[in-house]
Amino acid sequence: VVRKLKEYQQQGYLNSTTLFIVFDVADLYTMIPRDGAIAALTRFCEKYAINGKIGTLKISTVIQLACVVLDTNSFAYKDKYYRQIKGGYIDDVFMTSNLSKEEILKLLDETTQTDSNIKITTTISQSLDYLDVTIENNNGNLKTCIYHKSASEPYILPYSSDHPRHVHMNILNNALVRAARMCSTVEDFDMERLSIEMILLVNGYPPKFIQQHMKNFFMKYNAMNVWTELNTESYQQLHHELHYKPTRREQKVQLESNGTSFKKPTNYEHKDQIYLHYTFESGPLINFKKEYRQIWEKYYVYPGSRLRNTRLIHGTILNRTLQSLLIHKKPKRDILTKMESTAQAASRTIQ
């Protein structure tokens, strides 16, 4: 959303009177019948298709895929298996407009009158919250920062949990990356950084650990003066770099749109590498990796050994959590075996 808004601003559409609109359709998930949804999607595709395609997909392919999703959307309840026949749509919408507030409300009212089932709750303002971001039109300048819901709790993976240290390190690093991507000013970023630090402390992260990995983050992006001096120019460079850096999902979509398959890099078959996975524990096995490597270097990579150029790579397997032990998301196997498979249902739908 933030990236699209920046493009919107760069194209000259954002001015001092531009309004942001968020509207929520009450109970949309269960309100729209399947056939009505497919008909609406077909009209949309026919209206906006270029040479009979939406992106790289033919209209018929888009409709078939939508049918597969809608006709195989199932759930289990009290030992019975149900197929959902109504609903399955996104009901939170964000948009911008240079119309007046009265004109926007009139258009939305006309939309709701087309179907008595549709009830819309609307927020129109130059500053509002959408998903996890606060968006503000400051006299034609876009300002964004992270939005925290009032019900959110400052709980993350505790430092004392039975996880390798790189997991805790990634939590800190990912939080800083998210803050730098979302916050448009260095002041908002620094407030978010302080919030991250407080949350880490509450969850038992040692101050030394926090300071070291925060330092590593700023050194990695050559932005130490953002941390020490709140340097605006350096922060804008950091913000721009991380904001436009494609995520892993975006890289995958880009490759697939170019006709290139996305493959996760794996080197498990490499003759000069050995992968060893072990169950991580913060108790007796806390030094397993270090001790195993000492044994490896002493007894296997001595001068003249054929393994001296072999790389040993350790990987950790996490212990099962209480959630994984106590919560079962899938229905019982005997319920599933009595139903037709998803592939069969999809095939029947497309035919």
| pTM (2 d.p.) | 0.70
For residue 196, pLDDT over 90 is answered with: yes
Residue whose C-alpha is closest to residue 274's, from 305, 300, 312:
312
- Is the separation of the CB atoms in 67 and 38 below 8 Å? yes
pLDDT of residue 269: 46
- Cβ-based burial of 118 (10 A; exposed 0-12, middle 13-18, buried ≥19): middle
Whole-angstrom distance, CA of residue 241 vs CA of residue 238: 5
pLDDT of residue 328: 66
Beta carbons within 10 angstroms of residue 128's beta carbon: 18
Beta carbons within 10 angstroms of residue 310's beta carbon: 15
pLDDT-wise least confident of 64-68, 165-169, 266-270: 266-270
Bigger pLDDT: 320 vs 62:
62
Whole-angstrom distance, CA of residue 44 vs CA of residue 41: 5
For residue 330, pLDDT over 70 is answered with: no
User: Which helix (DSSP H) or strand (DSSP E) does residue 143 occupy?
Assistant: strand 141-146
Q: What is the mean pLDDT of residues 60-68?
A: 90
Bigger pLDDT: 345 vs 56:
56
Given pLDDT bands bounded at 50, 70 and 90, which one contains residue 342? very low
Arithmetic mean of pLDDT over the chain: 83
Given pLDDT bands bounded at 50, 70 and 90, which one contains residue 287? confident
DSSP label at 132?
T
pLDDT of residue 201: 95
334 CA to centre of own chain: 34
For residue 347, pLDDT over 80 is answered with: no
Q: What is the mean pLDDT of residues 310-326?
A: 77
- Is the separation of the CB atoms in 141 and 185 below 8 Å? no
Q: What is the pLDDT of residues 95-138, one digit of tens each?
A: 999 999 999 999 888 877 777 767 788 899 999 999 899 999 99
Q: What is the mean pLDDT of residues 271-286?
A: 78
